[in-house]
Amino acid sequence: MVWIVRMLLLGLLVILSGCDNGPQDHRQTLLVFGTLLDIQAYTDQPELFNEAVMELDKTFQKMHREWHAWKGEGELIRLNRALAEGKSLQVSAELAGLLQRARQYAVDSEQMFNPAIGRLIALWGFHSDQPPGGPPPQKLEIEALLKSNPNMEDLRFQGGLVSSTNPMVAMDLGAFAKGYALNLAIDELKRMGIGNAIVNAGGDLCVSGRHGERPWVIGIRHPLGEGVIASLGVADGECVLTSGNYERYREFEGVRYAHIIDPRSGYPVAHVASATVISHQGGLADAAATALSVAGPVDWPRIAAKMGLTQVMLVDDQGKVYLTPQMQSRISFQQKVDEVVVGAETFD
Ligand code: AMP
Ligand code: MG
């Protein structure tokens, strides 16, 4: 009799432990924003995770459709058309909020982040899936656009109505919508019950929770060489965004023209290979990574401080690494680098 009870109890234990394997890694990949979005969760609820990813896919596809700068009939393209015609357009509360936030980032970055330069970006051929070959645009064309001085201060907001006092303003959200979207993804996953996750679009990522006993650990790609330049643990709610000159560029007679444009000169950034920013706000980190690439090795500490950032790393075109003390204290270089810690006074 005792023997039978023991067997039954053992059977129950086996069944119970079979039900609860504990959290494990689950992974899904989506194709959004023309890039692969890798979503990884550490969870014991794989079905819930799959459902959440399906929801995210819908959110992302909608953003992609509505905020594309040159494809389709989304609200950004309709807005740009209206602005060019001197008209106003009713936009979604989300887009209006995003534009207002972008205006603030533009001010804080001394206009080095300027998403109103859509025409300049198009002139350089970056409003196409495949940037063109051939010579760069004519200096005169670039100067004409610079003279028209499109910037976020030209925009007017009245409720959801957006207009511009300057018809040369054309919005391009390419420098910060991805960071905003990654942040949103983490929040959405959390809301749906997936609290330990990492959402990664080609090295740009946001994180929630932990990977079991340890934090999520990630690698930052070397912008000039091979492999990973540094690795670090990323805490709950943090985003790590990198702008790189190597990501998209056109080439003519051995010269590379990258997709990050200096709004002051109208020409692509040349002396920064990458800028990496860590922040709890993905959109800010993304905008800042672009702005700091423009700012370059001398001016970046001032712009980073103005944007309220303390965790920044810049790699110049010679491979020299500049970083804030806060960044240095948390990353481990995976390769030998020539590093300079900057701004101990600025970034207390
Ligand atoms: P990111 O990879 O985040 O640096 O974003 C680069 C993209 O942002 C480019 O492909 C352009 O669409 C746009 N862009 C380029 N230069 C700037 C700039 N100075 N300010 C705002 N957006 C820019
Ligand atoms: Mg950016």
Tens of pLDDT, residues 191-237: 999 999 999 999 999 999 999 999 999 999 999 988 999 999 999 99
Q: Does residue 3 have a pLDDT over 80?
A: no
Query: Separation of 172 CA from ligand 1 center, angstroms?
Result: 8
Q: Does residue 118 have a pLDDT over 80?
A: yes
Could you report the per-residue pLDDT of 154-163, keeping only the tens digit for each?
999 998 999 9
Ligand 1 pocket test, candidate residues 112, 260, 276, 293, most atoms within 8 A of CB? 260
Q: Does residue 26 have a pLDDT over 90?
A: yes
The response to whether residue 287 sits with its C-beta less than 6 Å from ligand 1 reads no
The first and second tokens of residue 191, run together, are 């809301």
Residue 346, helix vs strand vs coil = coil
Closest approach atom of ligand 1 to CA 178: 3
The reported pLDDT for the residue numbered 226 is 87
Kindly report the average pLDDT of the chain as a whole number.
Answer: 93
Q: How far is CA 340 from CA 187, 230, 308, 344, in A?
A: 35, 15, 21, 11
Q: Does residue 332 have a pLDDT over 90?
A: yes
Q: Where are the domains of the chain?
A: 25-42+193-347
Q: Does residue 7 have a pLDDT over 50?
A: no
pLDDT-derived band at 20, boundaries 50, 70, 90: low
The reported pLDDT for the residue numbered 9 is 46
Stretch 260-266: mean pLDDT: 98
Q: Does residue 18 have a pLDDT over 60?
A: no
Q: Directed axis angle between helix 93-108 and helix 282-306, to 10°?
A: 20
The response to whether residue 121 sits with its C-beta less than 6 Å from ligand 1 reads yes
Query: Separation of 227 CA from ligand 1 center, angstroms?
Result: 24
Helix count (H) and strand count (E) of the chain?
Answer: 9, 17
What amino acid is encoded at 180 in this protein?
A: Y
pTM of the predicted model, to two decimals? 0.93
> CA angle 230-114-74, nearest 5°?
100
Could you report the per-residue pLDDT of 267-276, keeping only the tens digit for each?
999 999 999 9
- Three-class SS string for 53-70? HHHHHHHHHHHHHHHCCC
Question: Could you tell me the CATH superfamily of domain 25-42+193-347?
Answer: ApbE-like domains (3.10.520.10)
